[in-house]
Amino acid sequence: MSVAASVARFAVAGFLVTLALGAVSGVIAERAGAAQVTRSFQRFADVIADTVVAPQVTSDLLHGDPSAQEALRTTVTRLVNRGRVVHVRVWDWTGRTVWADDPELIGRTVRLPGDLQKALAGQSSVVSSDGGRPSTGSSATADPGNLLTVYAGVQNDDATPLLVALSERYRDMQTTAKRDWMRFGAASLGALLLLELLQIPFAWSLVRRLRRHQAEAEAALLQTAADAAEITRRRITSEVHDHVIQDLTGLTYDLDAARLRGRPRNADDAFLLDRTASCVRRGIADLRSLVVGLAPTRPLAGDRTRALEQLAERLGEPGTQGKGRTTEDLTGPPGEGTTPRTERGVRHEGDR
């Protein structure tokens, strides 16, 4: 695989991982933003219920005074017009609706769930989107799942326990969470993409360096293998030339001496001696050819012609003509007996 293809695969994989990371982080950030917005609205609802709504739920309002109800309605209307709170409702400890932005709900009594009773008694708050909760208004009754409601337990100026419900639309909450994520998520995603772009030149350089090191390692390995083969050939050549060939040559001398020392007992013995000597000489010739083939020829640097001349000279030496040589080439023509070197060995044996 080429360097460009390797870097391209790295870049594509990096971009895919970056996009996947951006998508996952977007989902996580959106959920975290929604949780943060929920906590923010809960704190906001606690403050509004305690400092704005509770002080206006006077004893006159609890007894149904229209002027007191209208004063609270004016306050809630200004609150709703600011765009965050959409519904407000107030219950007393018996579950009676003492005030609601929907006049039709005022005076109705509902059974408060256990967690809302604890909030009412302990002056704490509960966040809920459960449609089974007490209704917070006509719109909430139609689709309560679209609202996030905070039930805050407070007390009015007369220390009367009250449960105030303030609702916010989920759509507004999601919009706020998405806006907060876009403020930071886009910058984070852009930084990741920029980092990926900056990594491409480094990846290109790293791949090229790795390929170069691999090529150098392969060349070194091949050279080591060639050197090992060279050493092995030299060792085999030395062993064959210095031991095997010398032993076989000595054997041929012994055979020639035995053949020339006296007449053989019969023709079969003479034929056996001649054939054995011939086979040994042929083996010596083959071994010398093998030694010539194994022995490395070191040519002069850049001089192939001289290397071929050296090889031709070595092949022209006695005993290196290969398997094509016959017995006559080694021992001389029939009738001459042996080579001069063999005859000298036999005469020396006779003098002894």
**What is the CATH classification number for the domain harbouring 146?**
3.30.450.20
Distance from chain centroid for Cα 10: 10
Same domain for 131 and 264?
no
Read off the tokens for 88.
Answer: 């407000």
pLDDT tens readout for residues 155-192: 988 889 999 999 888 777 777 777 767 777 777 778 87
Residue where a domain stops, chosen among 158, 193, 228: 193
pLDDT band with cut points at 50, 70 and 90 for residue 350: very low
- Assigned domain for 62 exists: yes
Report the pLDDT value the prediction gives residue 212, as an integer from 0 to 100: 87
pLDDT given at position 195: 81
Q: Which of the 8 DSSP states describes residue 300? A: B
Same domain, 167 and 18: yes
The per-residue pLDDT for 346 is 35
**123-137, 160-174, 265-279, 326-340 — which one is most confidently predicted on average?**
160-174
Does some domain include residue 294?
yes
- Is there a domain that residue 330 lies in? yes
Q: Are residues 100 and 144 in the same domain?
A: yes
Lowest mean pLDDT among 38-47, 114-123, 318-327: 318-327
- Strand, coil or helix: 255: helix
Angle at which helix 245-261 crosses helix 340-351, to 10 degrees, equals 60
Looking at the structure, tell me whether residues 147 and 10 fall in a common domain. yes
Residues 6+ apart with CB under 8 A from 134: 89, 91, 95, 110, 112, 116, 165
Under the banding of pLDDT at 50, 70 and 90, the label for residue 48 is very high
- Statement: residue 144 has pLDDT above 50: no
Q: What is the reported pLDDT for 325? A: 42
Coil/strand/helix, residue 127: strand
pLDDT at 333: 39
CA-CA distance, 303 to 314, in Å (whole number)?
Answer: 17
Residue 129: exposed, middle, or buried by beta-carbon count in 10 A (0-12, 13-18, 19+)?
middle
pLDDT over 70 for what percent of the chain?
74
User: Best-predicted range by mean pLDDT among 59-68, 189-198, 277-286?
Assistant: 59-68
- Residue-wise pLDDT for 211-262, tens only, equals 888 889 988 888 888 888 888 888 887 877 777 778 778 877 777 777 676 6
Q: Are 257 and 345 in contact (CB under 8 A)?
A: yes
Which of 124, 158, 193 marks a domain boundary?
193
Has residue 200 been placed in a domain?
no
Task: Give yes or no: residues 176 and 288 share one domain.
Answer: no
Tokens found for residue 41: 């609205």
Q: Tell whether 121 and 264 lie within a shared domain.
A: no
Residues 164 and 277 in one domain: no
* 30 and 116, same domain (yes or no): yes
User: Is the same domain home to 180 and 255?
Assistant: no
Same domain, 23 and 130: yes
DSSP string of 11-29, one letter each residue: HHHHHHHHHHHHHHHHHHH
Rounded to an integer, the average pLDDT of 42-54 is: 91
Final residue in a domain of this structure, among 178, 193, 208? 193
Number of domains observed in the structure of the chain: 2
C-alpha–C-alpha distance, residues 140 and 105, integer Å: 12
- For residue 326, the model assigns a pLDDT of 39
Whether 206 is covered by a domain: the verdict is no
pLDDT at 196: 79
Of the pLDDT bands very low, low, confident and very high (cuts 50, 70, 90), residue 13 is confident
Tokens of 287: 């071994």
What is the H or E stretch that residue 162 is in?
Answer: strand 161-169
- Show the domain range for 259: 219-351
Work out the burial of residue 88: count CB atoms within 10 Å of its CB; fewer than 13 is exposed, 13-18 middle, 19 or more buried.
buried
Asked, for residue 209, whether it belongs to a domain, the answer is no
Q: Residues 141, 17: one domain?
A: yes
Residue 331 lies in a domain: yes
Q: Which pLDDT does position 203 carry in this prediction?
A: 82
Mean pLDDT of the chain, nearest integer: 75
Q: Which of 14-28, 80-94, 301-315 has the lowest mean pLDDT?
A: 301-315
Q: Which residue blocks in the chain are alpha helix, DSSP H?
A: 3-48, 59-62, 66-81, 114-122, 138-142, 170-239, 245-261, 267-294, 304-315, 327-331, 340-351
Q: What are the phi and psi torsion angles at 156 (to 5°)?
A: -85, -175
Which range (25-39, 175-189, 286-300) has the least confidence? 286-300
* pLDDT at 309 (0 to 100): 63
pLDDT reading at 91 higher than 90: yes
The SS3 of residue 151 is strand
Pair (225, 293) in one structural domain: yes
The residue length of the chain stands at: 352
When mean pLDDT is compared across 80-94, 221-235, 312-326, the lowest value belongs to: 312-326
- Asked if residue 67 is part of any domain, the answer here is yes
